[in-house]
Amino acid sequence: MDFTKEKQRASAWFWQLRDEIVAAFEALEDSHAVGPLSEAAPGRFEMTETRRASEDGGDAGGGLMSVMRGGRVFEKVGVNVSEVHGHLGEAAQRAMAARGVPGMADDPAFWASGISLVAHMQNPHCPAVHMNTRMFWTPHAWWFGGGSDLNPCIEYAEDTAHFHQTQQAYLDPHGTGIYPELKAWADEYFYIPHRGRARGVGGIFMDDRNSGDWRADFALTQDIGRAFLPAFAPLIETRRVQDWSDADKDAQLVHRGLYAEYNLVYDRGTKFGLATGHDANAVLMSLPPMAKWI
């Protein structure tokens, strides 16, 4: 099962989505904002190439890490895209086998490509957000995964409704049961057991998606990505001009502590990236620039 053309097509899509999101986020930076950096120059992404550490010192692929820090709207936002390959280590093989991925003992070769982003905002009224989509391949299997979830520290019911309704509108053409399934999966996946609560207000999530129809699964993955900007950007357009207090900022920093705890303790993507030798700075890009614990 080679899937060369399919892998190329998926990787090209992730890069295209990355370009669209980076352009949209820089456009938000050009718009008016409030706060101590409102008169500063608009923030811009800094690009850094990343490489995966291979087992034998050869080429194992890499990607592009795009990070903006200290913007007028975004305090820290990273948009990473990658295409990596090689052989899974023993720990990763066991983890994949435990999830039902076939053939790990016979051939641990893999290929993976995807886009991942996390945005932490200056204004506490603007919600933080996460999105990723990815394709994973082995000689015996392939699947897609990803989703997006909203993480406000100050919750607005209308923002949560818009985020979910937009995602549902993009997913319903793939079957009216898809959105409820992926929403329930996100509610379970983004839960923090030791805190007894979710890290945000949910969204959509899927993993190990292989219906047997590659084109259909890829189309669903694309629409998860396409839904992101219409679901998120209007919220920032509305909230970026609201005044905030020191108490609001303090609440934001405390809420970011939840985000950091989840990503370091539970997030499967963080664990996989570090275990398979991907650039640690790119893997940990999701962590907020500042956080606070009570």
Mean pLDDT, rounded, for 125-145:
94
Whether the predicted pLDDT of 55 surpasses 70: no
User: What is this structure's pTM?
Assistant: 0.92
As a whole number, mean pLDDT of residues 195-210 equals 95
At residue 56, the pLDDT reads 60
pLDDT of residue 140: 86
What CA–CA distance (Å, rounded) separates 112 from 133?
A: 11
Active-site hit among 32, 120, 125, 130: 130
Residue 38 has pLDDT above 80, yes or no: yes
Q: How far apart are CA 129 and CA 205, in angstroms?
A: 13
Is residue 216 very low, low, confident or very high in pLDDT (cuts 50, 70, 90)? very high
Q: Is the sign of the CA dihedral 78, 18, 206, 130 positive or negative?
A: positive
Beta bridge partners of 115: 81, 133
- Run of H or E including 223: helix 214-239
Assigned token pair, 269: 């993507």
Q: Which long-range contacts (CB under 8 A, 24 or more apart) does 246-253 make?
A: 248/124, 248/125, 248/153, 248/154, 249/124, 250/292, 251/124, 251/153, 251/154, 252/124, 252/153, 252/154, 253/290, 253/291, 253/292
Encode pLDDT of 238-252 as tens digits.
Answer: 999 999 999 999 999
Rounded to the nearest integer, the mean pLDDT of the chain is 91
User: Using alpha carbons only, what angle is made at residue 228 by residues 224 and 229, rounded to the nearest 5 degrees?
Assistant: 145
Over residues 136-170, the pLDDT tens digits come to 998 888 999 999 999 999 999 999 999 999 999 99
Q: Does 1 have pLDDT greater than 70?
A: no
Per DSSP, the three-state class of 49 is strand
Catalytic (active site) residue 130: yes
